A and B are shown apart, each in its own frame.
Chain A
Amino acid sequence: MDLTNILFVIAAVFMLFCLYLVLSLRSQFSGGVVGRYWKYLTALVVVFTLGYLALPFFDMLPESALRLTVALVFLFGALYVYLTIKLINSIIKALSS
């Protein structure tokens, strides 16, 4: 197994652990500011997990589909960062109100 594949496996395992965390913490946020954002973050983690698990099959994809996949990963990654920043901002506002 080369370095690239080792990194792929580590990433997939790490993302599965994130999926476990995001789902297990969900019961603590039935609503409110955090609960509102948590639903979207959970959905994105599910998408990322599926994408990471599909990594071994990316070699079978034609190059155009691979480029589209990478673009989607970038898009969802940016969305995830945006939601995280909004969530942190909302928490700070709630704490300072």
Chain B
Amino acid sequence: MNRQTVFRRTAEGQDEIKTRQRGLEHNHRFALIMIDGASNVAELEAKSAGRWDTESLLRDLWDQGLIEPVARKEGMSEHEVASQPVPEATSHGGETRAAETGPDGEGLEPQADETASPPTSEAVKELLGESIKGQMVAVVKAIMGEHGGEKLIAKIQASEESPTALADAVDSGCIFIKLTVSESKAQALKERLHEILSEKYDRPFFKGFFRK
């Protein structure tokens, strides 16, 4: 598998996250959730921090028609790429794989899909249960790996389960990461964790409490 290939979820993959009809195993489901239409195979492998056999999982998901490579032919315009229809949810792996190399065998370049959504908090919540702290810790581990996010995780776990307390824990933990580990990872974490908080407490009463 080309490690530069970018995958996105098919319509069937989106449905699977909501419905769980296929009863995917934990790792397969988590890999499906992590597909964001922008990260390539190498980046997904980095996010897994060695916990999955990423290529094998992606191959399985691809075989089941839950994901597909985001690709374009050489010479195809951005407009042509954008107007390409997303395969039906019923398309199977063989057909999708054929699409990667094209019917005439021409090579295709991987390309990020700007329309694909990143793994949603709802999806992570479905996988990990209702605990918002559990979801937030999972996101920290996915972005930071095993090391570097310990203080933020400790702050989240020690925080009261209220929107303001959790937002404060996220902000102070992200500042620590920004100062001592990585500015870009801190920014990504802050955005993602506030997104989770917004989704969890997405009620007019809570909205005023959040500082983005």
Contact = CB atoms under 8 A, between A and B. Distances in A.
Say whether chain B's binding surface is mostly helix, strand, loop, or mixed. Answer: helix
Contact of A29 (B175, B180, B183, B186): B180
Nearest to B172: A95
B27 interface: no
Interface string A85-97: 0000001001100
B180 A31 contact: yes
A64 interface: no
Interface stretch (A32-40, A41-49, A53-61): A32-40
B179 A94 contact: yes
Sorting the interface of chain B by its residue count into under 10, 10 to 19, 20 to 34 or 35 or more gives 10 to 19
Say whether chain A's binding surface is mostly helix, strand, loop, or mixed. Answer: helix
Sorting the interface of chain A by its residue count into under 10, 10 to 19, 20 to 34 or 35 or more gives 10 to 19
Nearest to A28: B180
A30 B179 contact: no
B175 A31 contact: no
A22 to B, nearest CB: 15
B178 A94 contact: yes
Contacts of A32: 177-183, 186
Closest 5 CB pairs of A and B: A32-B180, A34-B179, A29-B180, A31-B182, A32-B179
Interface of B: 148, 175, 177-183, 186
